[in-house]
Chains A and B, each alone.
Chain A
């Protein structure tokens, strides 16, 4: 047995430490009441919006695609209507005099629906663009309701700000770094990229490999995307389905959406084989004859005859074959 490495010995402690850090961040976010709460006109608030210039061009950073379950929104509307707002929303002042939402889009929408003119808000005055995004992301990441897709997109956006490049640039750097880390390639990733990426991942408690594995989520076709967002498909299953032949997608979504990863894989394989088998019969009857002969060669060797069920089934099949031939 080789000696235990430090990596192995520290594994548990490192994980527990990360947990504790997230816990304290959560707490810090929960303690926002030490900031003053003010009332702000609902129509003066706009959703999280971050713009920046790349090579002289003004660009609006893609919004995290937020999906709000209509039923949950109804419940929230109902609750605010009967009991009022529990937790204030968080905003920052924008240059045009409006307020950009950092946290609480659902609560804000509920106020719009109810026609309440003002909302309780905590105003954060000195937040930069990436500070705002990081803040929003940190609150989001800590909430169970954010989908992996939204989370991935938010992290890419944040990295795009920090690394000063666009989405595809960030993805290139992440992939290069991941390959480098796995020892597949030897290219040098610039030290500052390294520091930025690990800094962001560390502060959010994410792993490089995990993030890279989720990147293909951003390329899902819209119909799969929507099902992930609505919680009908798990991200893993959506990825599996997207890689299967396109003509199987409808069938796989309806039959395989709720299956485990392994079962879905089996289903896809089986369907592919069925398709291949059908193709066989059309093109090559010779192959079929061969398969039948080779199957019959096993008649003496198999112990299926000892199993009453299998034996009965064989008898039925034999009768069918005899009739056909």
Chain B
């Protein structure tokens, strides 16, 4: 089995990418897998959501990995080590903004992360890329580096419209970047579904003109989960731990676990 490299993408802010990344990482670890979270977002909150300090120096971030003289000394930081022993993180954050210039100037630009992973492989079973909330340079970097893609959306028209533009972009850019084998879209995770919001009910409903599940099915894209709006989930993220450590009894943990299992099936059966 090869390493599973999952890019978690969306084309809107606040869709729950980082929350999803942190919780899937935790659930994968519970399934006995080793995981490395990789922050690919200059405005990202990965450090906050996994309870780490913001990096002070760019050498403590992904920036270092994207530099042409990267020697394979990954800036790995242990995560939730008191509870699980197989989760690490490479942080992103504002230092990545400066590294964008590097990406623009380097002849291998978009392929830099992919190159580093090839030249200096990480030992983990799974890598989870936490992507920015809008299609930009680091999306290219993650697209080249990943094997699979997970798309997250809130059930709002703005998110859905932007989400399909992202999917359009994913197909187009794979072609432009000549990525082989093709990166597979694992599916879509809906975040923050609120039964009391008419728009949410419409988007998750049965009217073929407005139904997201029907649109996804016609494109043969899996709707992996629809996660409800949850205050506990927000609280756990703000406290730097996955929901499984904050409220182990919460039902949403089962859903995260099922997403993790689905990822394992996809990656290990291939």
User: Hey, which bits of chain A sit against chain B, CB under 8 A?
Assistant: 3-7, 9-10, 12-17, 19-20, 23-24, 27
Question: What CA separation (Å) do A5 and B157 show in the bound complex?
Answer: 10
Contact between A6 and B208 (Cβ–Cβ < 8 Å)?
A: yes
Contact between B157 and A13 (Cβ–Cβ < 8 Å)?
A: no
- Some 17 contacts from A to B, beta carbons below 8 A apart, are A6-B214, A7-B215, A9-B161, A9-B215, A10-B219, A12-B165, A14-B219, A15-B168, A16-B167, A17-B167, A17-B219, A19-B171, A19-B175, A20-B174, A20-B182, A23-B182, A24-B182
Q: B70 at the A/B interface (Cβ < 8 Å)?
A: no
Counting chain B CB atoms within 10 Å of each CB, the highest count among A5, A13, A14, A19 belongs to: A13
With A3-B157, A23-B175 known as contacts, the answer to whether A13 contacts B165 (CB < 8 A) is yes
How many residue-residue contacts, CB under 8 A, span A and B? 55
Q: Which 4 A-B pairs have the closest CB atoms?
A: A16-B171, A6-B215, A12-B168, A13-B168
* Chain B binding surface SS class: helix
Cβ contacts under 8 Å, A9 to chain B: 160-161, 164, 215
- Contact among B160, B168, B180 with A16 in the assembled complex (CB-CB below 8 Å): B168
User: Hey, which bits of chain B sit against chain A, CB under 8 A?
Assistant: 157, 160-161, 164-165, 167-172, 174-175, 180, 182, 208-212, 214-215, 218-219
Question: What CA separation (Å) do A5 and B211 show in the bound complex?
Answer: 9
Contact between B171 and A10 (Cβ–Cβ < 8 Å)?
A: no
With A13-B164, A23-B175 known as contacts, the answer to whether A6 contacts B219 (CB < 8 A) is no
Cβ contacts under 8 Å, B175 to chain A: 19-20, 23
The distance from the CB of A1 to the nearest CB of chain B, in whole angstroms, is 12
* Chain A binding surface SS class: helix
Contact between B171 and A6 (Cβ–Cβ < 8 Å)?
A: no
The distance from the CB of A172 to the nearest CB of chain B, in whole angstroms, is 27
The distance from the CB of B204 to the nearest CB of chain A, in whole angstroms, is 12
Question: Whose C-beta in chain A lies nearest to the C-beta of B220?
Answer: A17
Question: What CA separation (Å) do A14 and B217 show in the bound complex?
Answer: 12
Contact between A10 and B164 (Cβ–Cβ < 8 Å)?
A: yes
Contact between A16 and B210 (Cβ–Cβ < 8 Å)?
A: no
The distance from the CB of A291 to the nearest CB of chain B, in whole angstroms, is 53
Question: What CA separation (Å) do A20 and B173 show in the bound complex?
Answer: 10
Cβ contacts under 8 Å, B209 to chain A: 5-7
Cβ contacts under 8 Å, A4 to chain B: 157, 161
The distance from the CB of B187 to the nearest CB of chain A, in whole angstroms, is 14
Cβ contacts under 8 Å, B167 to chain A: 13, 16-17
Cβ contacts under 8 Å, B211 to chain A: 6
Question: Whose C-beta in chain A lies nearest to the C-beta of B209?
Answer: A5
Cβ contacts under 8 Å, B164 to chain A: 9-10, 12-13
Cβ contacts under 8 Å, B165 to chain A: 12-13
Question: What CA separation (Å) do A24 and B183 show in the bound complex?
Answer: 12
Question: What CA separation (Å) do A7 and B167 show in the bound complex?
Answer: 14
Cβ contacts under 8 Å, A13 to chain B: 164-165, 167-168, 171, 219
- Contact among A3, A17, A27 with B171 in the assembled complex (CB-CB below 8 Å): A17
- Contact among B168, B170, B210 with A3 in the assembled complex (CB-CB below 8 Å): B210
Cβ contacts under 8 Å, B215 to chain A: 6-7, 9-10
Cβ contacts under 8 Å, A27 to chain B: 180
The distance from the CB of B12 to the nearest CB of chain A, in whole angstroms, is 13
